[in-house]
Amino acid sequence: MKKYWIYIMASKRNGTLYTGITGNLLARIWQYKRGLVEGFSKKHHVTRLVYYEEYDDVSLAIWREKRIKRWNRRWKIKIIESINPSWDDLYNNFIDS
């Protein structure tokens, strides 16, 4: 079964935030870390995976991503810190597995 992820990237703790969606989380974060994603994330050095959610249904994942993108910054920080209070780079959890 295909999986989809919504994710929040950060430049640093309490830094610039970016919310996105992908069908391959590891590959997408790898691209951010190597500066291969042009635009906002590259300009603001957004390379740290600080939050993600996994979905089986692409429609639900898209809905959730759009909803989080509309949130104010305070709400995004709250959801990040609910699972990642130290703003660790969660990408490392995947590559160490």
Q: What is the DSSP string of 25-58?
A: HHHHHHHHHTT-S-SHHHHTT--EEEEEEEES-H
Please report the domains of the chain, with CATH numbers, ordered by start residue.
Answer: 4-95 (3.40.1440.10)
**pLDDT tens across 50-64, in order?**
999 999 999 999 999
Taking 70 as the threshold, does the pLDDT of residue 36 lie above it? yes
What is the model's pLDDT at position 96? 62
Residue 31, amino acid: Q
Structure tokens at 83: 């699972």
The chain-wide mean pLDDT, for the chain, equals: 94
